[in-house]
A = this chain, B = another copy of it.
Amino acid sequence: MEDNSIVALLERHGVRPTANRILIVKALAAGRHPLSMRDLEIEIQSIDKSNIFRALTLFRERHMVHAVEDGDGATRYELCWSEDEDSDEDEHMHFFCEVCHRTFCLYDRHVPDVSLPEGYRVSSVNCLVKGVCPACGRKRKC
């Protein structure tokens, strides 16, 4: 993802495009998996974790990223690609491998469309499948 479009993305969500924030978005866009705070800390050594945390919090408020429970205690973050700025329509399921502890996006599996009884307001749906990924499955058997 290019700097130009990252700046545009940030501004579209009302976030000032500082150098740090651009780095964080770039890392999120580059990773094929949702990234945890720890991943980002390691990836971008130049930024303090408190700042990464505050950036992610802001991004989340502005619906620029959403949070994914990683099945392993920590929270992971991924960019929203939805057209709609205020909802999280593009939500897909995730797969957590219990052996290698990686989280994959199942882009072609949408989270179910949940309609709850009168009175509930739904803001997001998180769907995490746990199991063993193909790579780890092979290793085990051989």
Chain A residues within 8 Å of B, Cβ to Cβ: 69, 71, 73, 75, 93, 95, 98, 106, 109, 111-112, 114, 116-134, 137-138
Number of copies: 2
Residues in B neighbouring A132, C-beta threshold 8 A: 120-121, 123
Q: How far is the CA of A127 from the CA of B125 in the complex (A)?
A: 7
B137 and A131 contacting across the interface, CB-CB below 8 Å:
no
Beyond A116-B129, A124-B130, A125-B130, 10 extra complex contacts between A and B, CB < 8 Å: A69-B126, A69-B128, A95-B120, A119-B137, A120-B131, A120-B134, A120-B137, A125-B128, A125-B129, A126-B126
Q: Please give me the residue from chain B that is nearest to A75 by CB atom.
A: B73
Q: List 21 A-B contacts (CB under 8 A).
A: A98-B123, A111-B127, A112-B112, A116-B129, A116-B131, A118-B134, A119-B137, A120-B131, A120-B133, A120-B137, A121-B131, A122-B130, A123-B130, A123-B132, A124-B131, A125-B127, A125-B128, A125-B130, A126-B126, A126-B127, A127-B127
